[in-house]
């Protein structure tokens, strides 16, 4: 059985790329640093090109699509090579499209009712978004008792300082974030710095094991 998306790495980099030529070197830097699961958000016009490039040229990366909000985007991103899907929220229509896509997906939730609704539909792995604004670690800790079968990838407001607090929770498999992708490093194409920051983020798995 293939490993869960939540277990590939402690951190999923959330990538927003403006220049498609940055896609491959950035992905290689993240993978070299120990972060193979890469979420490319659909927030820029080149996002599909970025997914295609990483899928074709960085096979060791597990590239996915983020900010997926329509069935058409599900179809387009999977066709481009996305190996997982992430949405900030979900509807029945979007959920059905993601379930039919054949790839793993993390529908976004921020309330207990949304979690229960997904569990009713057989979905146990979710994105918790926006994590800090929606209640942070205290909220997730409260969900662990009544809903232990739900596992989360919290994203939104998470950085190197508070990521260990999330990763220490029993119902958190990984976290999503951008702190290993500082804008000035991307602008300077300083892939060595990105790799170093990715390696530090990947090291949170060891830290988690000691909690």
SS3 4: coil
Which residue among 18, 39, 120, 141 is the active-site one? 39
Which residue among 57, 125, 127, 205 is the active-site one? 127
Rg of the chain in Å (alpha carbons): 16
Partners of 38 in the beta sheet?
63
* Whether 18 is catalytic: no
Cβ density class 28-60: b for 16+ within 10 Å, e for less: bbbbbbbbbbbbbbbebebbbbbbbbbbeebee
Task: Tell me the C-alpha to C-alpha distance, in Å, between residue 87 and each of 90, 156, 173, 180, 194.
Answer: 7, 13, 17, 21, 25
* Whether 60 is catalytic: no
Known catalytic residues are 39, 127
């Amino acid at each position: 059985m293939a490993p869960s998306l939540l277990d590939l790495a402690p951190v999923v980099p959330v990538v927003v790329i403006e220049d498609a030529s940055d896609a491959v070197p950035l992905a290689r830097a993240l993978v070299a640093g120990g972060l193979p699961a890469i979420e490319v958000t659909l927030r820029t016009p080149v996002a599909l090109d970025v997914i295609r490039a990483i899928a074709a040229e960085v096979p060791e990366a597990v590239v996915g699509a983020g900010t997926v909000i329509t069935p058409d985007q599900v179809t387009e991103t999977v066709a481009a090579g996305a190996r997982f899907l992430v949405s900030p929220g979900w509807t029945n229509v979007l959920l059905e499209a993601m379930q039919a896509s054949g790839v793993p997906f993390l529908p976004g939730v921020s309330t207990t009712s949304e979690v229960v609704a997904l569990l009713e539909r057989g979905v146990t792995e979710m994105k918790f978004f926006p994590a800090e604004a929606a209640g942070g670690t205290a909220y997730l800790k409260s969900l662990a008792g009544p809903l232990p079968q739900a596992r989360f990838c919290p994203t939104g407001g998470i950085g190197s300082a508070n990521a260990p607090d999330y990763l220490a929770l029993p119902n958190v498999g990984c976290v999503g974030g951008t702190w290993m992708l500082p804008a000035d490093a991307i602008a300077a194409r300083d892939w060595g710095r990105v790799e170093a920051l990715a390696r530090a983020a990947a090291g949170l798995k060891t830290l988690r094991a000691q909690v």
